[in-house]
Each structure stands twice: as structure tokens, then as C-alpha cells.
């Protein structure tokens, strides 16, 4: 298994280099530093200001090949600095990106972890419930409800939630964030509810399919034959065996906890990584965007390896070679 | 060539393509049976999708001239290409600002409207007719889903089939490219692509295409790997069938059901995604997402403006719901695994 992890990690590193190469192609070759400068300082800025901006951000080196110093190019810089987690300064306001990443992680996690855990428990429970009543009208209604909730845009969930629960009923503040423990719950309740409502339809439908497929296996019939009740079959046999597809879906979603939910954070004024990304889009902040893509990919690759390892934990038959 | 001429030509091409497809489906027994089964299972959802398609097509056929600018209209509008949908509304229908559905006075202030009772869904902040805007949004939505699929499906088929069929080096390279793209969180990759390419309808479609072809490509690759080892393919190869012909006649037709399923399932996701992009400020002009995004501030007003949000989001909801229902039925009808379960 150790050899497996090392091999996966090596391939993961290779993919990470691929991601970096793609970022370089997008942000240095396709959109040249000149274009970035023009978007950052404005279309009508005089050429000296443009040159100044490019020099200030260190984008004035040769891109691919420097005859005098072969290593002093944008390509080498980009790889070296990103891989050592030195993301430099923001293109928009000059603040150090690494520091802002550290500051944004807390609020992002404060929203993401509860919504992840609650969402998982809620949708697995509902999935089990619907699968338990399969081929009855409860099941059919559940599926229709899932499709209905899946057809509503996330934007509408957020706007509707803010309007209904925030403005009309005044249950929760419409937006804002305060990290002190006594009030943080008040601010997080509404985004939590919205993310639950938004995600639950797709997840329940997925888990229902998994449970029903698992429920038609031979061992389930055997369990029934030896006298297990329906409920015990569901929770002890079906749920345990369905852990692999559940894990596949779940572990891969974990990195998104760190990158944060872009929409929720910026709508509800939570100063996390998601808000940071949205600000970067509005401010043409390419450096921050590159950092976010890199971090997101890094975590995603890590999570994929973790998924494979976790299979061995839930299913002793799985051997990683 | 001018934009509206191109759009007219595209409509003609699409209609010709649809006719060819319909003939193809009619000639093949299996496909015809599936189509009949689909129509039997989901008549309403198919009808709804058909209405949307018709609106989008009518909004894509446009020409310059004709009509009457009217008393309050802008004479310049006469020299702008207008579609069949535009022509259903008088040129001088605009008001000064917000007005409620079927109202006869302005919403704020109460000044009399130029066209009392003519705005079925009211008007927006610039006095434009909301019904007209909503109908125009249909074209954008179908464009997002349709045009992106036109990028995704050929690309995924090309890469997936060659990776699966030829294997070795091609497979290694394709696999690396796919895992690289797949390891970047979807929304972040999409944002990065659009930021690098600039904003605009074509850019958004291309970016969505790049982010969503990998999943389908993996399925195609896996299926091709399975198909190429099957007896009938081996037999064809032993008979000396050339490789391009083998792929075209023996592999591709067996991937077509996957293409149809993917297309329908992909479509609703893409349209919903565009709404998110609109909120982030990198969406397509005139989409329902932009109307919804605009409505954020309108709900904060007092008294609130609700008709803009209601019109755009119900149009979006009805389309996505219908496509989702059709998609489920398509999967049930075409997927051999569920076929076996049914029998």
C-alpha cells in the first residue's frame, strides 16, 4: 500500500505540473502581461503607467527563454514560486496573497464544515428513507421532489432565502459575519439552510440509486432469510456495503471546503476564500486567481489519493497494489 | 458577414440537421422504438421543450426593415435587424421605468404609462417589456446548452475513441490531459478560462466546453475499450475492414446512445451554470441569469419589484425541469442496464 501511495503521489505531482503549465499558458501566453496590465490600470492609461505596472509585478521578464540567464524567465518563476507557496502580491491591491489565504481559511471552514457534515448526514438519511420505501408512492414523491429542487437555480435559493427568512420573517440577519462564538451561529444559519436546500436533491437521488442497487444483492436476501428486520438490513447491511460509492462522492468534495463556496460567501458577506475569488474576478486580479486554482487542484489531487486509501478502511477486500 | 445573417444561416443548418436526424431515427428500428417510447412516457415535458425550441428559433430568424417606429419609437430601431419575436412587439413599447404587470401607471411616482395594460409581465428599470426580455432569454439559454454540447461531444468522442481504440501513447497523453483538467475544481477552471479569454457568449461556451468534456470522454474511452474486444469487432477486423471504417461503422454507432444521454443530462447543468456565471459578472448578456442577478437589488426596494425575478426564474425553472424529466426518461429508454432491469 505504501508503494501505491508513493506512485499515486508521483502521478499527482505530475498532474500538478500540468495544472501549472495550463495556468502559464492561459495567463502568460494566451492573455499576455500587457493585456493584464491594460485591464488592471484601464484602457486609456499612458504607456509609461502600463510599463510601470508590468515591472512592479515582475511580469517584465522574457516569457520562455532568456539567452543571458536561462533560469530568469517568467515560466521558471511561475513554477518555482507557486510550488514553494510564494504567491506574491495581488494584482489588484498589492496585498500579499499568502497572508490573505491564511486569513480567509477560517471563515470559509466555519461555513463549509457544518454545511458539509449536515448535508451528508441529512442526504444519506433521506436517501435511506426513500430507498426503504422503494416502489411506493413515498419513493415516487421523493424522486419527483428531488428533480424539482434540482431544477431551481442556486441564485434563486439564495435570493429567496435572504428575502423570505431574512427580510420578511426577520429570523436571521440577511448577511454579515462575526467570528466571536456567541453570534457566529446567527450569521451562519441562513447560508447553511440555503446550501442544504440547494444540494440535497441531487445527493438524495444519488444515494437512493446506490441503496436500491445494493438492496437487490444476494446477501440482502440472505440477511432477510435469517430473520433480520427491514430496518436492520438497511442500516447494518446495505449502508455498510454502500460506503464505497458514498466515499467516492464525499472525499472528492472535501477540497471544496477550503476553496469555499463562491456564491454563498459573497452573497452572505463571509470574508472567506470564496469571497476572495469573487473579488479577484471583479478586480481582474490574476495572481490571486492563479493561487486559488493551484490550491484547489492541490487539495483535489490529495483528496483523490485519500479516497483510494479510504477504500481499504471500509472494505477489507480492497487491496491496493 | 453580419451577425443576423450568420444567425439565419445557422438556423437553416440546424433545421436541416434536425430533419436529417429525424429521417435517420425513422429508418432505424431500434431508434424509432426508443423515440416512440420516449414520446409515450414524457409527452408534456417534450412539449414544453418543444415550445422553448420554437421560441428560440423564432428569435433567431431576423432581418432589417419593415414595421413602423410609431409615435414614441426610435427611428434608428428600423435599421437594426429584428427577429420574429421582436416583431411581435411594437417598436415603441418601452416605458420610462418600472411598471407592474398590466398596470396603467408607473410603479414609483404613478405617472401614466404610454401603453397602459399592454405589459403582461410589467417593465424593468429601463422600461423594457419583461415578457419580451424573458422570451429573448430563451435563445441565450438554448445557445449555452446547445453550442457547448456541440463543442463537448465531438471533442470527447474524438479523444475518447482514439484513446480507447489505439491505446498506448495516445491513451497515456489523453489520460494525462484529462486528469490534469479534472483535478482543477470546475468553477475555478471556468473562471480562469473566461478571465484569460475575455468575456462574451462564445468565450463562455468554449470555457464550459473545456470544463465539461472530460467526464463524457472517460465514459467513451471505457466503452471503446470494451467494444474493441467484442467478437463482432474482432470478426470485422479479421475480414479486413479498414480501421477508420471499423470505428465509423462498428464502434461509433454503439456509442450513440451515450451521446444522447449525455447531451440531455449535460444540458440542464450548463444552463444552470450560466446563471451562476452571470452573478459573478462573467455570464452572457441577455440571459435569465442576468435578469435574476439584477433582481437582487429589486427585492431590497420598498415596495419590492417581483415580476422581473418571477418571470426569469420561472422560465428557467420550467425549462430545466422539463429537460430533467426528459433526461431521466431518455436514460431509462436508452441505457441497456436499465433495459435489462425492466424486462
Q: Do A26 and B193 touch (CB under 8 A)?
A: yes
Is A150's Cβ below 8 Å from some Cβ in B? Answer: yes
Task: Identify the pLDDT of residue A71.
Answer: 66
CA distance B39 to chain A (A): 19
Q: Do A19 and B187 touch (CB under 8 A)?
A: no
Q: Identify whether the C-beta of residue B65 lies closer than 8 Å to the C-beta of residue B82.
A: no
Selection from A291, A303, A302 nearest residue A247 by Cα: A303
Task: Identify the pLDDT of residue B341.
Answer: 45
Q: Do A154 and B272 touch (CB under 8 A)?
A: yes
Interface probe for A, chosen from B172, B173, B196 (most Cβ of A below 10 Å), is B196
Task: Identify the pLDDT of residue B73.
Answer: 56
pLDDT-derived band of residue B343, with 50, 70 and 90 as boundaries?
Answer: very low
Cα(B303)–Cα(B282) distance, rounded to whole angstroms?
Answer: 30
Task: Identify the pLDDT of residue B69.
Answer: 57
Cα(B333)–Cα(A201) distance, rounded to whole angstroms?
Answer: 23
pLDDT, one tens digit per residue, over A180-214 is 777 777 788 888 888 888 888 888 988 888 888 88
Task: Identify the pLDDT of residue B337.
Answer: 62
Which residue among B268, B276, B309 sits closest to A263, beta carbon to beta carbon? B276
In this structure, the number of other CB atoms found within 10 A of the CB of residue A153 comes to 25
pLDDT-derived band of residue B70, with 50, 70 and 90 as boundaries?
Answer: low
CA distance A298 to chain B (A): 8
- The residue ranking higher by pLDDT, B75 or B30, is B30
Task: Identify the pLDDT of residue A73.
Answer: 73
Q: Which residues of B touch A148 (CB under 8 A)?
A: 321
CA distance A305 to chain B (A): 12
CA atoms within 13 A on the CB side of B259: 18
Is A234's Cβ below 8 Å from some Cβ in B? Answer: no
Q: Which residues of B touch A156 (CB under 8 A)?
A: 292, 309, 313, 316-317
pLDDT-derived band of residue B336, with 50, 70 and 90 as boundaries?
Answer: low
pLDDT-derived band of residue B83, with 50, 70 and 90 as boundaries?
Answer: confident
Cα(B173)–Cα(A201) distance, rounded to whole angstroms?
Answer: 36
Q: Which residues of A touch B296 (CB under 8 A)?
A: 159
Give Cα separations from B81 to A224, B4, B61 (angstroms).
Answer: 70, 7, 9
Which residue among A159, A281, A292 sits closest to B281, beta carbon to beta carbon? A281
Give Cα separations from A294 to A49, A262, B178 (angstroms).
Answer: 29, 16, 17
What letter would DSSP give residue B83? E
Selection from B162, B252, B153 nearest residue B212 by Cα: B153
Selection from A13, A105, A17 nearest residue A292 by Cα: A105
Task: Identify the pLDDT of residue B340.
Answer: 46
Task: Identify the pLDDT of residue B201.
Answer: 84
Q: Do A31 and B196 touch (CB under 8 A)?
A: yes
pLDDT-derived band of residue B143, with 50, 70 and 90 as boundaries?
Answer: confident
Cα(B229)–Cα(B72) distance, rounded to whole angstroms?
Answer: 71
pLDDT along chain A (321 residues), means of 10: 84 88 81 72 73 72 68 74 76 78 84 88 89 86 89 86 80 76 79 87 88 84 85 83 84 72 84 86 82 86 84 77 63
ipTM of the complex, rounded to two decimals:
0.82
Q: Do A159 and B282 touch (CB under 8 A)?
A: no
B22-36: average pLDDT? 85
Chain B residue at shortest CA distance from A253:
B185
Task: Identify the pLDDT of residue B67.
Answer: 63
Identify the H or E element spanning A151: none
Query: Which residues are CB-contacts of B317 (< 8 A; sequence separation ≥ 6)?
Result: A151, A152, A153, A156
Give Cα separations from B57 to A314, B54, B143, B203 (angstroms).
Answer: 53, 5, 10, 22
Amino acid at each position: 500500500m505504501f508503494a501505491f501511495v508513493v506512485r499515486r503521489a508521483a502521478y499527482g505531482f505530475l498532474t500538478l505540473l500540468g495544472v501549472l503549465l495550463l495556468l502559464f499558458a492561459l495567463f502568460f501566453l494566451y492573455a499576455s502581461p500587457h493585456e493584464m496590465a491594460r485591464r488592471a490600470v484601464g484602457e486609456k492609461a499612458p504607456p509609461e503607467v502600463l510599463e510601470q505596472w508590468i515591472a512592479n509585478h515582475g511580469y517584465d521578464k522574457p516569457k520562455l527563454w532568456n539567452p543571458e540567464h536561462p533560469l530568469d524567465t517568467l515560466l521558471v518563476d511561475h513554477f518555482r514560486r507557486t510550488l514553494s507557496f510564494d504567491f506574491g502580491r495581488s494584482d489588484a491591491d498589492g496585498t500579499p496573497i499568502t497572508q490573505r489565504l491564511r486569513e480567509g481559511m477560517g471563515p470559509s471552514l466555519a461555513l463549509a464544515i457544518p454545511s458539509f457534515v449536515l448535508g451528508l448526514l441529512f442526504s444519506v438519511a433521506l436517501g435511506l428513507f426513500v430507498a426503504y420505501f422503494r416502489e411506493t408512492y413515498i419513493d415516487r414523491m421523493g424522486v419527483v421532489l428531488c428533480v424539482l429542487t434540482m431544477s431551481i437555480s442556486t441564485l434563486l435559493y439564495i435570493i429567496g432565502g435572504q428575502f423570505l427568512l431574512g427580510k420578511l420573517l426577520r429570523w436571521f440577519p440577511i448577511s454579515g459575519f462575526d467570528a466571536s462564538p456567541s453570534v457566529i451561529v446567527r450569521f451562519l444559519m441562513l447560508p447553511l439552510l440555503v446550501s442544504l436546500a440547494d444540494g440535497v436533491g441531487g445527493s438524495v437521488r444519488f444515494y437512493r440509486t446506490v441503496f436500491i442497487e445494493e438492496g437487490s444483492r444476494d446477501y440482502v436476501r440472505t440477511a432477510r432469510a435469517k430473520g433480520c428486520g427491514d430496518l436492520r438490513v438497511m442500516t447494518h447491511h446495505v449502508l455498510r456495503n454502500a460506503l464505497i460509492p458514498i466515499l467516492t462522492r464525499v472525499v472528492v468534495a472535501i477540497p471544496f471546503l477550503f476553496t469555499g463556496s463562491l456564491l454563498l460567501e459573497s452573497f452572505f458577506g463571509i470574508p472567506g476564500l470564496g469571497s476572495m475569488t469573487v473579488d479577484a474576478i471583479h478586480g481582474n486580479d490574476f495572481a490571486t486567481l492563479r493561487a486559488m486554482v493551484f490550491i484547489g487542484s492541490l487539495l483535489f489531487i490529495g483528496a483523490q489519493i485519500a479516497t483510494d486509501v479510504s477504500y481499504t478502511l471500509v472494505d477489507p477486500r480492497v487491496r491496493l497494489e | 458577414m453580419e451577425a443576423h445573417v450568420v444567425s439565419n444561416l445557422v438556423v437553416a443548418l440546424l433545421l436541416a440537421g434536425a430533419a436529417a436526424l429525424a429521417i435517420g431515427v425513422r429508418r432505424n428500428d431500434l431508434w424509432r422504438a426508443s423515440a416512440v417510447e420516449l414520446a409515450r412516457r414524457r409527452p408534456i415535458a417534450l412539449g414544453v421543450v418543444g415550445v422553448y425550441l420554437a421560441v428560440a428559433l423564432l428569435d433567431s430568424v431576423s432581418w432589417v426593415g419593415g414595421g413602423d417606429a410609431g409615435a414614441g419609437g426610435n427611428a434608428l430601431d428600423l435599421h437594426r435587424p429584428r427577429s420574429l419575436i421582436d416583431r411581435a412587439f411594437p417598436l415603441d413599447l418601452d416605458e420610462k421605468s418600472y411598471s407592474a404587470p398590466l398596470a396603467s401607471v408607473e410603479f414609483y411616482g404613478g405617472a401614466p404609462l404610454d401603453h397602459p395594460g399592454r405589459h403582461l409581465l410589467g417593465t424593468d428599470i429601463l422600461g423594457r417589456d419583461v415578457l419580451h426580455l424573458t422570451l429573448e432569454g430563451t435563445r441565450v439559454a438554448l445557445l449555452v446548452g446547445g453550442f457547448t454540447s456541440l463543442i463537448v461531444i465531438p471533442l470527447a468522442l474524438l479523444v475518447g475513441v482514439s484513446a480507447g481504440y489505439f491505446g498506448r501513447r495516445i491513451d497515456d497523453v489523453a489520460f494525462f490531459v484529462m486528469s490534469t483538467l479534472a483535478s482543477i475544481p470546475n468553477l475555478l477552471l471556468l473562471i480562469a478560462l473566461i478571465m484569460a479569454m475575455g468575456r462574451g457568449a462564445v468565450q463562455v461556451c468554449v470555457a464550459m466546453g473545456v470544463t465539461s468534456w472530460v467526464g463524457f470522454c472517460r465514459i467513451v474511452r471505457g466503452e471503446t475499450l470494451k467494444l474493441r474486444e467484442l467478437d463482432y469487432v474482432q470478426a470485422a477486423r479479421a475480414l479486413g475492414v479498414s480501421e477508420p471504417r471499423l470505428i465509423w461503422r462498428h464502434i461509433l454507432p454503439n456509442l450513440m446512445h451515450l451521446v444522447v444521454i449525455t447531451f440531455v443530462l449535460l444540458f440542464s447543468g450548463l444552463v444552470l451554470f450560466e446563471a451562476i456565471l452571470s452573478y459573478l459578472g462573467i455570464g452572457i448578456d441577455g440571459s435569465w441569469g442576468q435578469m435574476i442577478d439584477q433582481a437582487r437589488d429589486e427585492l431590497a426596494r420598498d415596495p419590492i419589484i417581483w415580476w422581473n425575478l418571477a418571470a426569469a426564474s420561472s422560465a428557467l425553472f420550467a425549462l430545466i425541469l422539463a429537460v430533467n424529466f426528459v433526461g431521466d426518461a431518455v436514460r431509462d429508454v436508452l441505457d441497456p442496464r436499465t433495459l435489462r432491469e425492466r424486462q
